[in-house]
């Protein structure tokens, strides 16, 4: 992918998290991407493929896909409109505007904003940029696993990859990346919060499930229905995808512990993945023999996110009584 917008991010060993997990924990620092999250990999790639001649792009987003679309569009000299739901914090709206995007606030959750983005694309002839459901996004996200393989070095294979699931685009990209490097047998721990758990609901039901509402504070995990491809991956017998949930309190605790341990502030959507280590979930999965007792290095996708600052963190602590 020549001339792409994303960076090759560091893979950092965390001594604090390694101690907790009882095996090496390696952090793929996607929080340090331009636009603040891994989303620039896929969205940058999609925009370069589909929007170079465009009169404008329109993206529906909880925030971070929009940040990536606004960044890519600005670099390409194309106007960007980002449609976010009212649940996205004001600080995200401000950051999107600072990236030069026009922001529309429509509906309560991402699904409502998406309906409006599709309408705008049709009515105004704009290029629609989906936040998680497109093969070009997965192709772009997949690049992170080739980087992980290069950073770990030859002969070192992860014991598991830990990531968050919103609409499932990151999951689809990581599956593709694992295929690219010949690691399909590496288990994926797919984390969501209670109340933003459309993937877990689909895995349990054996079919796609549309949630009634998003009740978690991890709004960037808040798609009501996971994408079809992510669900299909969950049914594959050659993959091992373990779908697990944490509470908002556990995700928030993980954010705070991570800030203390690594001096890095990430949003709730990312806290869900970090909580797999901080809540002791890895040990429980080993006790239940769902992960081997002797586990290779854990790779945590630190997906990042712009929906957080010290004030937002303080607000969450009050709201979640922690
Ligand atoms: N957020 C999407 C979808 O929101 C968005 O519009 O930004 N970590 C972070 C920081 C994210 O922002 C997201 C997705 C995810 C993880 C999950 O990625 P996905 O949607 O590809 O599973 C509704």
Q: Is the CB of 187 under 6 A from ligand 1?
A: no
Q: Report domain extents, the chain.
A: 11-38+134-319, 40-129
pLDDT for position 100: 97
Average pLDDT over residues 91-96: 97
Q: What is the pTM of this model?
A: 0.98
Average pLDDT over residues 108-123: 97
Average pLDDT over residues 87-95: 96
Question: HSE on the CB side for 108, CA within 13 Å?
Answer: 7
d(CA 270, CA 273): 6
Which pair of tokens denotes residue 52?
Answer: 């170079």
The CATH code that applies to domain 40-129 is: 3.40.50.1100
Question: HSE on the CB side for 86, CA within 13 Å?
Answer: 3
| Cα Rg, the chain, nearest whole Å | 18
Per-residue pLDDT of 292-320, as tens digits, reads: 999 999 999 999 999 999 999 999 999 99
pLDDT for position 17: 98
The percentage of the chain sitting over the pLDDT mark of 90, rounded to a whole number, equals 99
- Please list the residues that pair with 246 across neighbouring strands: 193
The percentage of the chain sitting over the pLDDT mark of 70, rounded to a whole number, equals 99
Per-residue pLDDT of 139-187, as tens digits, reads: 999 999 999 999 999 999 999 999 999 999 999 999 999 999 999 999 9
CA distances from 106 to 90, 113, 172 (A): 13, 5, 27
Per-residue pLDDT of 63-77, as tens digits, reads: 999 999 999 999 999
The terminus-to-terminus CA distance of the chain in angstroms comes to: 44
Determine the residue of 82, 140, 221 to mutate for testing ligand 1's pocket, defined as the one with the most ligand atoms within 8 A of the Cβ atom: 221
d(CA 96, CA 68): 9
Q: Which atom of ligand 1 is nearest to the CA of 163?
A: 16
CATH classification number, 11-38+134-319, choose in 3.40.50.1100, 3.40.47.10, 3.40.50.970, 1.10.10.60: 3.40.50.1100
Q: Confirm if 30 and 304 have CB atoms less than 8 A apart.
A: yes
Q: Which atom of ligand 1 is nearest to the CA of 168?
A: 22
pLDDT for position 2: 55
Q: Is the pLDDT confidence value at 1 over 60? A: no
The alpha carbon of 206 and the centre of ligand 1 are apart by a number of angstroms equal to 23
Q: Which atom of ligand 1 is nearest to the CA of 305?
A: 10
Q: Is the CB of 65 under 6 A from ligand 1?
A: yes
Query: With bands split at pLDDT 50, 70 and 90, how would you rate the model's confidence at 322?
Result: confident
The yes-or-no answer to whether 11-38+134-319 and 40-129 have a common fold is yes
Q: Return contacts of 146-149, CB within 8 angstroms, 24+ apart.
A: 146/177, 146/180, 146/181, 147/8, 147/9, 147/11, 147/28, 148/11, 148/26, 148/28, 148/177, 148/299, 149/181, 149/183
Give Cα 66 to chain centroid, integer Å: 13
Average pLDDT over residues 273-292: 98
Q: Which atom of ligand 1 is nearest to the CA of 63?
A: 7
Per-residue pLDDT of 188-245, as tens digits, reads: 999 999 999 999 999 999 999 999 999 999 999 999 999 999 999 999 999 999 999 9
Residue of 99, 161, 173, 97 whose CA lies nearest to 133: 173
Residue 57's SS3 state is strand
Q: Is the CB of 114 under 6 A from ligand 1?
A: no
The alpha carbon of 290 and the centre of ligand 1 are apart by a number of angstroms equal to 26
């Amino acid at each position: 992918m020549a001339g792409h917008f994303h960076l090759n991010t560091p893979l950092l060993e965390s001594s604090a998290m390694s101690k907790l997990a009882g095996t090496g924990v390696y952090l793929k620092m996607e929080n340090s991407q331009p636009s603040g999250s891994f989303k620039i990999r896929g969205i940058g790639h999609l925009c370069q493929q589909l929007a170079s001649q465009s009169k404008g792009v329109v993206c529906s987003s909880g925030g971070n896909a929009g940040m990536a679309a606004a960044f890519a569009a600005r670099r390409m000299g194309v106007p960007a409109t980002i449609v976010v739901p009212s649940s996205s914090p004001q600080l995200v709206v401000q950051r999107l505007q600072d990236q030069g995007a026009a922001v529309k606030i429509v509906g309560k959750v991402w699904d409502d904003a998406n309906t409006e983005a599709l309408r705008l694309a049709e009515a105004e002839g704009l290029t629609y940029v989906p936040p998680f459901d497109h093969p070009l996004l997965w192709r772009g996200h997949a690049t992170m696993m080739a980087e992980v393989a290069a950073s770990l070095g030859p002969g070192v294979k992860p014991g598991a990859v830990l990531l968050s699931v919103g609409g499932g685009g990151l999951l689809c990209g990581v599956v593709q990346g694992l295929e690219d490097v010949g690691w399909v047998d590496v288990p994926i721990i797919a984390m969501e919060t209670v109340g933003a758990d459309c993937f877990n609901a689909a895995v349990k039901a054996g079919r796609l499930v549309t949630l009634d509402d998003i009740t978690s504070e991890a709004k960037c995990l808040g798609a009501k229905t996971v994408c079809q491809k992510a669900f299909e991956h969950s049914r594959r017998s050659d993959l091992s995808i373990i779908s697990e949930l944490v509470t908002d309190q556990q995700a928030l605790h993980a954010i705070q512990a991570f800030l203390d341990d690594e001096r890095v502030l990430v949003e709730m959507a990312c806290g869900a993945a970090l909580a797999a280590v901080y809540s002791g979930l890895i040990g429980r999965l080993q006790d239940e023999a769902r992960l081997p007792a002797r586990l290779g290095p854990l790779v945590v996708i630190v997906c990042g996110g712009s929906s957080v600052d010290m004030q937002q963190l303080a607000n969450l602590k009050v709201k979640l009584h922690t």
